[in-house]
Amino acid sequence: MNRVLESSSMSLRLLAALFLLCASAGCRLKTADPAEVERTIVFWEQQDAMVMPFLDGLFERFKKLPGNADVRFIRTHYQNEDLHQQFQTASIAGNPPDIMLSPSDKAGVYCISGFILPVDGLFDLGRYNKAGIDAITLDGKTWGVPMTNGNHLMLFYNKRMVKSPPETMDDVHAFCEARTKALSLDHCWAIHLGEPFWLMPWLGAYGGWPIDGRTPTLDTQAMRDALALMRDLKDVRKEIPPECDYNCMDVLFKERKVAFIVNGDWAIAVYQKVLGDELGAARIPRLSRGGPWPTPMVSGVYFMLSSKLAGPKLELVRRFVDFATSEEMQIEQVKALGRLPSLAKASKSKAILEDPLLKASMDQVLVGKPMPMATEMRAVWDAMRPLYGRFLTRQLTPGEASAKMQKEALAKIAEMNE
């Protein structure tokens, strides 16, 4: 079956980028001394600026290990979509980086295209948190080694307004009814209504999920219940702003205009800087006392190895990834970046257990579900997004929205596979 690299076939822009790449520094290593090439690790990433010093520190510490003094690292930074485009182009040209540090969302494309190596047998994958490994597993193979664990939604709250975080949605409703006006707030809490990624925790709590393997599972009672909950919060209870995208909700929380927000673990450092000691974090409240917890999608950032690696160069890269995800380096990562480790043993370190925000983040991960890496998820997101918007503006009922989402997702998958 002829699968496309993304939702469309390779475009003229991709071809043009290929020729530009081969005229750039990326192709120069082919003319370098073979021994130097074998000891050079070309490393591409799309991380925040705060991560780059940590990565460069990893490189220097690895070079200080016995036998590594001559190892050279070439790190190149890209924006997220640019990294995706450039990696595809370089892989087609036969000159990819040795390692790419990236989220898992595009890994399905890379593995199907033959751009990355499965890492089963190269690493002891049992050392890592299961959710992080599951999020990079497809068709029985593992396609990357997790550096971080998370990238998940969780509940943040302002401790000046909230004495203790709500455990259930009934607790949320009771607080909002009693305290919204008393605190001079227009709305009690905020979520991103424009993106179905924020719907996933409640979909999971109702017993659903957007995909089973490679098959969309959108036309379900769980989806209808999750949709109905969002409309209840927005239109009936009026607890959340009716039209609020990411920037809207983020600003409302930073400016102390809502008591709660559901946002990702990536926001911890920013909210700490803005709110200081006022910032609290907890699991997203469960639907009812004793009931299931909402299940945000969990993934992380992964080392993905080029399928071109072999022999001594593959062994060098393997040793570096092992070092970068060792217990010592994982704990250093927590301290330096405030991001959860992928290594199971490091997840129990004092650096996390003694930090209330990181501990809350880890507690949330424990009830999350792995983000699917199947390429079909792109079709699922593309099908859900506009129909979710139409549902929220009351153009569709929950039943109509879920049925149309399923139909559209199946149609988009069929287009992908033509």
Domain boundaries, the chain: 12-150+298-370, 153-297+373-416
Q: Which among 321, 304, 315, 253 is positioned nearest to 281, based on CA atoms?
A: 253
Burial bucket for residue 197 (CB in 10 Å: 0-12, 13-18, 19+) = middle
Q: Average pLDDT of 364-369?
A: 94
**Taking 50 as the threshold, does the pLDDT of residue 313 lie above it?**
yes
Q: Which residues are paired to 44 by β-bridges?
A: 76, 100
Strands 189-190 and 260-264, by their bridges, are: parallel
Q: What are phi and psi of 278, to 5 degrees?
A: -75, -15
**How far apart, in whole angstroms, are the C-alpha atoms of residue 95 and residue 87?**
9
Q: What are phi and psi of 212, to 5 degrees?
A: -120, 105
Q: In this predicted structure, what is the pLDDT of residue 31?
A: 47
Share the mean pLDDT of the chain: 91
Q: In this predicted structure, what is the pLDDT of residue 64?
A: 97
CATH fold of 12-150+298-370 reads D-Maltodextrin-Binding Protein; domain 2 (3.40.190)
**Taking 70 as the threshold, does the pLDDT of residue 24 lie above it?**
no
Domains 12-150+298-370 and 153-297+373-416 share a fold: yes
**Taking 50 as the threshold, does the pLDDT of residue 13 lie above it?**
no
Q: In this predicted structure, what is the pLDDT of residue 81?
A: 83
In which band, very low, low, confident or very high, does the pLDDT at 317 lie, cut at 50, 70 and 90?
very high
CB crowding 229-262: b at 16 or more within 10 Å, else e = bbeebbeeeebbbeebebeebbebbbeebbbbbb
**Taking 50 as the threshold, does the pLDDT of residue 114 lie above it?**
yes
**Taking 90 as the threshold, does the pLDDT of residue 137 lie above it?**
yes
Q: Average pLDDT of 358-366?
A: 95
Q: Which residues are paired to 303 by β-bridges?
A: 101, 145
CATH fold of 153-297+373-416 reads D-Maltodextrin-Binding Protein; domain 2 (3.40.190)
Q: In this predicted structure, what is the pLDDT of residue 60?
A: 98
- Range with lowest mean pLDDT among 58-62, 107-111, 186-190: 107-111
**Taking 90 as the threshold, does the pLDDT of residue 94 lie above it?**
yes
Q: Average pLDDT of 81-85?
A: 91
Q: In this predicted structure, what is the pLDDT of residue 239?
A: 97
Tokens coding 366: 């424990």
Q: Which among 215, 257, 141 is positioned nearest to 249, based on CA atoms?
A: 257
- Range with lowest mean pLDDT among 4-13, 138-147, 305-314: 4-13
- DSSP state letters, 22-53: HTSGGGGGGGS-HHHHHTEEEEEE---GGGHH
pLDDT tens per residue, range 188-214: 999 999 899 999 999 999 999 999 999
**Taking 50 as the threshold, does the pLDDT of residue 187 lie above it?**
yes
Q: In this predicted structure, what is the pLDDT of residue 32?
A: 59
In which band, very low, low, confident or very high, does the pLDDT at 18 lie, cut at 50, 70 and 90?
very low
Tokens coding 342: 């992928």
